[in-house]
Amino acid sequence: MTEVQTGKLVRSKGLARLAFILFVALALRLGAFAFFYQANPAGIRYPDTHTYEEPALAFLAHGKFSDRPDLPDVPMLLRTPGYPAFIAGVYAVFGPNEVALVVMQIILSLGTISLVWWISRQLWPEAASLAAAAWLAVDYLSLFYTQLLLSETLFTFWFVLALALGTAFLLEEKPQIGLALLFGFAVAVTAHVRPITYYASPALLFGLLLARRVLRLTWVDAARIAVAFSLPWVVLVAGWQLRNHLVAGTFQFSPVSGALLALYHAVDAMEEARGIPLDQGTQIVLRQVAEKASLSPEQLEQLSLSPMEPRVSGVSQAEIYEHYGAVGAAILKENAAGFAAVMAKHVVPLLFGPGQDTILDFTGTPQSAGNPVSDLAYALKTGSFTHFKLIWLEQYPWTFALLLVSVVQVMLLTFFAGVGVVASRGENGRRQLCHLLLLGSMLYMLALALGIGHSRHRVPCIPVLVLYAGYGLHCCYLWRCSRRPAANSMPAGTNGL
């Protein structure tokens, strides 16, 4: 058999294994959805779901993104159009069918797994790429969020696609303008799905210019690539800002950041720094916003009914959102130490939290049931397992099993991802740039999510973690093989770390 034939055979076997992993992932996701949807149909909906679905229905009814179908003249501001457009596309084909929407998200998650396999294959041996794909296929949190009507699955797909295009661009012997354009397009689309990546394009552009020598680019070539990479951002992101200015009088890309700053970060900071309860802190924020906007008592009452989606007679949403940003920033400045303490407390839940609240909602388990992890710790400490057995082994065994699986997966993922990062630290040149792109993008996401500190915001970072975990697992396997008494060398077919 020639070398070319051997290579084709190896590639075909690798694709067959990937296909098997995708089949397992599909079966797990569809099986989980069928089981839990039958038990608790409302579990796929989250408090945020309607803020995406209603603009999608408005678009189908009126051809424009409005807040709700019955308010066609109130423009959608809180959300960017990425996920509502996805919902509208699914509903246009299948009708307002939430089951079809979840199934499409499940299919999209298979694309994310394939992209993870491809990125890993560009950097490491095939065994590492298959391990990464398999890990993501069974990762609990990633699987779980495919079942919810939230933007996480769509955002994660576009985020990983952007990383794949960036990897392809960086590994090209002579970086192509076409790849730079596609890379920039994918990054801009991620901002349309979730505005957390609003600043990603300028940051990545700065990084590309710094890497000019490693990429062997002249200043002329670098300028062309910079223009190609930036063009989608100008068209899509700046274009949406122009739309907001035309329909609502604001250049904000998404006012959600100002609302989060005031209603979550500022309120948390006041509780931490001054012991002000959350509900009282919210009222302080609303009163300050009302003072800035010169609201009457009746208008303040209207604002209090739905602070995140303000509907105040005689005052535009854009104006309220701008006041949120100003008030939130002022409160955080006054309570900076409290906000820093809050962010420090959020590190562990963000990086390692099993997502207990979401699991309880999804499985239909009442919050009054308590915390199975703390209940188990208490039972082990006291030696009395009666309460734990009654609640978590008899009444809600599936909830406890899911939480246990999630905790174990997080621990293993963290360990093997750390091994993978350490094992790849000696690489240089273009491959080093790829690692900077992957790890830098993940750290960017995590840093901006610290203010909330929910495990939900870890979901887009999991594909990057499993990339390195797959390589770390591969390295551990090679190390174990090298330690066997009967083996004096690396296994056949491997090429070291």
Q: Does pLDDT of 180 surpass 50?
A: yes
Tell me the average pLDDT across 311-324: 90
Residues 87 and 231 in one domain: yes
Judge whether 129 lies within some domain: yes
Predicted confidence band of residue 490 (pLDDT cuts 50, 70, 90): very low
pLDDT confidence of residue 495:
45
pLDDT in tens, 134-173: 999 999 889 989 999 999 999 999 999 999 999 999 998 8
Residues 169 and 103 in one domain: yes
Q: What do you get for the CA distance between the two ends of the chain, in Å? A: 28
Task: Report the alpha-carbon distance of residue 11 to residue 228 in Å, rounded.
Answer: 33
Residues 121 and 265 in one domain: no
Tell me the average pLDDT across 216-223: 90
Tell me the average pLDDT across 227-248: 95
Residues 292 and 154 in one domain: no
**How confident is the prediction for the chain on average, in pLDDT?**
89
Residues 132 and 192 in one domain: yes
Task: Report the alpha-carbon distance of residue 119 to residue 100 in Å, rounded.
Answer: 29
226 close to 233: Cβ distance less than 8 angstroms: no
CA 370 to chain CA centroid, nearest Å:
27
Last residue of a domain, one of 303, 334, 365: 334
Helix (H, G, I), strand (E, B) or coil at 73: strand
Cα distances (angstroms) measured from residue 336 to each of 284, 339, 350, 448: 17, 5, 20, 16
pLDDT confidence of residue 11:
66
Judge whether 377 lies within some domain: no
pLDDT in tens, 384-394: 888 888 888 88
Judge whether 346 lies within some domain: no
Judge whether 404 lies within some domain: no
Tell me the average pLDDT across 248-262: 89
Tell me the average pLDDT across 260-285: 93
Tell me the average pLDDT across 418-446: 92
Per-residue DSSP letters for 422-474?
A: HHTTT--THHHHHHHHHHHHHHHHHHHHTTT--GGGGGGGHHHHHHHHHHHHH
Give, for 413, the enclosing helix (H) or strand (E): helix 397-423
Judge whether 304 lies within some domain: yes
Which candidate, 171, 214, 120, places its Cα nearest to that of 431?
171
Tell me the average pLDDT across 225-239: 95
Predicted confidence band of residue 185 (pLDDT cuts 50, 70, 90): very high
Tell me the average pLDDT across 227-238: 95
Judge whether 17 lies within some domain: yes
Residues 271 and 201 in one domain: no
314 close to 298: Cβ distance less than 8 angstroms: no
Length of the chain in residues, anyone? Answer: 497
Residues 164 and 288 in one domain: no
Judge whether 378 lies within some domain: no
Predicted confidence band of residue 429 (pLDDT cuts 50, 70, 90): confident
pLDDT confidence of residue 392:
86
pLDDT confidence of residue 402:
82
Helix (H, G, I), strand (E, B) or coil at 278: helix
Last residue of a domain, one of 308, 334, 360: 334
Residues 268 and 227 in one domain: no
63 close to 134: Cβ distance less than 8 angstroms: no
Tell me the average pLDDT across 473-494: 70
Lowest mean pLDDT among 209-223, 248-262, 350-364: 350-364
Q: Total structural domains in the chain?
A: 2
Last residue of a domain, one of 275, 306, 334: 334
Residues 178 and 290 in one domain: no
Residue span of the structural domain in which 276 resides:
254-334
Residues 146 and 266 in one domain: no
Residues 139 and 282 in one domain: no
| pLDDT winner (highest mean) among 350-364, 415-429, 465-479 | 465-479
Residues 275 and 246 in one domain: no
Tell me the average pLDDT across 305-315: 90
Tell me the average pLDDT across 316-332: 92
pLDDT confidence of residue 378:
81
Task: Report the alpha-carbon distance of residue 25 to residue 142 in Å, rounded.
Answer: 11
pTM above 0.85, yes or no: yes
Judge whether 342 lies within some domain: no
CA 161 to chain CA centroid, nearest Å:
13
pLDDT in tens, 104-119: 999 999 999 999 999 9
